[in-house]
Structure 1
Amino acid sequence: MAYILVLYYSRYGSVKQMAQHIARGIESVSGMEARIRTVPPVSPTTEATDPAVPESGAPYATLEDLKNCAGLALGSPTRFGNMAAPMKYFIDQTSSLWLSGHLVNKPATVFSSTASLHGGQETTLLSMMLPLFHLGFILLGLPYTETDLNTTQSGGTPYGATHHAGTSSKNPLTDEEQRLCFAQGKRLAEVAVKLSQGQIS
């Protein structure tokens, strides 16, 4: 079965929860599987030395996971309006896929979480899109037919799903945030199916 790679980094669990709701949306589409993967943390003094398999949670992503996916949902917390270093570190290792063109014309989408409501959600999403454009992905956001975009008092942008985690990083995902994550995953999977069937060219 074809799969969408749901690739995330999560320090305190919020982005992980978002990834799970996006995966639910992906798997609501017939013929599409969600493959959830994460990336290891990096050290300020040396390269990451985590074991090949994490002790718990999602497995670490490989370039093969990315190469063979039918689409990508990429998630990271905000770090000064940008993606977190562990995710950037992983993306920086994808030059071989850029050179080979394996990711060209595959659909992708991005999602993020911040401690404060105006803590760089949209700039983080945009910064995550930039390398995906270079890799050849077709970027998808959230259309305003998702009515939660007009009413949410928490996260949610047309560039992708977001979450307001709070300064303690313990705010649960709101109903609106959960629905937007689900809708984003579902849209990504629907477009991936249409592309695979030649309905979009």
Structure 2
Amino acid sequence: MSPALVLYYSRHGSTKRLADAIAQGISSQNVPVIVRTVKSIDNSGNAAGDASNDASNTVPVVTLQELEQCSALALGSPTRFGNMAAPVKHFLDSTSSQWLKGTLIDKPACVFTSSSSMHGGQESTLLSMMIPLIHHGMVICGLPYSEPELHNTTMGGSPYGVTHVAHHTLSAPEQLSEEEKALCIAQGKRLATFAKKLADGD
């Protein structure tokens, strides 16, 4: 089957950590996975020539062909005033051709985010990322409360998608909590399971 696509933007590394853990969950289900980023936005509001954001400069920039061919999509962004970051929105705004062709219809998708505070707009950011995916006809795959970490976490975690609370310090960015990482892996596994079922026509 075609690889699942984990696509994100990360400035300081927190969203990248979520992406890597979700990819781990996907690959644990024997589903191929590729991890990609989006182009940064320069001061004029235009896409930069490379992925110059600090945490993603070693990760390839996604192509529209990779988006079209993916079997599933995990889309991630840091929270910006309760919304997705501009580079993610800029990329989604470039997918009109894929919408017209219906290339993403009936493919499973999930969303994930990180913020610097507990109540920093995580859930509204997740919902903002779902909207264009629904317009593309994708099947949204959240997290059920059968995942025990949703009941136990005192950091990130949401039924709308996995999250991370990133208390940044000058010494080092904060790592994922055990609950956050477990939810990421569970999200990746669930996305991969849906991708396999849909690919098999179940």
Give the TM bin, normalised by the shorter chain. over 0.9
Question: CA 1:140 to 1:52, structure 2 compared with 1: closer, same or farther past 3 Å?
Answer: closer
What does 1:178-197 align with in structure 2 at a 5 Å threshold?
178-197=181-200
Structure 2 CA distance for aligned equivalents of residues 117 and 75 of structure 1: 17
Q: C-alpha separation between the residues in 2 aligned to 1:20 and 1:76?
A: 13
Q: Output the amino acid matched with 1:19.
A: A
Show the counterpart of 1:76: 77
* Superposed CA RMSD: 1.7
What is the DSSP-based 3-state SS (H/G/I as helix, E as strand, rest coil) of the residue aligned with 1:2? Answer: coil
Give the aligned partner of residue 111 of structure 1: 112
What corresponds to 1:125 in structure 2?
Answer: 126
Which residue number corresponds to residue 41 of structure 2? 42
Give the aligned partner of residue 20 of structure 1. Answer: 20
Contact (CA 8 Å) 2:39, 2:52: kept in 1 or not?
A: no
1:101 is matched by which residue type in structure 2? Answer: G
Q: Which residue of 2 aligns with 1:175?
A: 178
Amino acid at match of 1:8: Y
Alignment length (residue pairs): 198
Identity of counterpart residues, as a percentage?
53
Confirm or deny: 8 A CA contact 1:53 1:60 kept in the other structure: no
The CA deviation at 1:44 is 2.6
Deviation track 1:142-172 (CA, whole Å, cap 9, x = no partner) reads 0011000001000000000000001548221
Structure 1 stretches lacking a partner, 5+ long: none
Question: Using the alignment, how far apart are the partners of 1:105 and 1:60 within structure 2?
Answer: 24
Is the Cα contact below 8 Å between 1:116 and 1:167 reproduced in 2?
no
Contact 2:40 2:52 in 1 (8 A): no
Deviation at 1:183, TM superposition (A): 0.4
CA drift of 1:46 comes to 4.8
Deviation at 1:56, TM superposition (A): 4.0
Q: Which moved more, 1:189-198 or 1:167-176?
A: 167-176
Structure 2 residue runs without a partner (length 5+) = none
Q: Match of 2:164, as an amino acid?
A: H
Instruction: Spell out, residue by residue over 1:100-158, the C-alpha distance to the aligned partner (whole angstroms, 9 max, x if none).
Output: 00100000000000000000010000000000000110001000110000010000000
- For the Cα contact (< 8 Å) 2:40–2:51, is it kept in 1? no
Match of 1:148 in 2: 149
Q: CA deviation at 1:51?
A: 3.8
The answer to whether the Cα contact below 8 Å between 1:82 and 1:120 also exists between their aligned partners in 2 is yes
Q: Is the 8 A contact 1:7 1:72 kept in 2?
A: yes
Looking at structure 1, the residues matched to 50 and 173 of structure 2 have their Cα atoms a distance apart, in angstroms, of 28
1:160 maps to which residue? 161
> Counterparts of 2:17 and 2:51 in 1: how far apart (Å)?
23
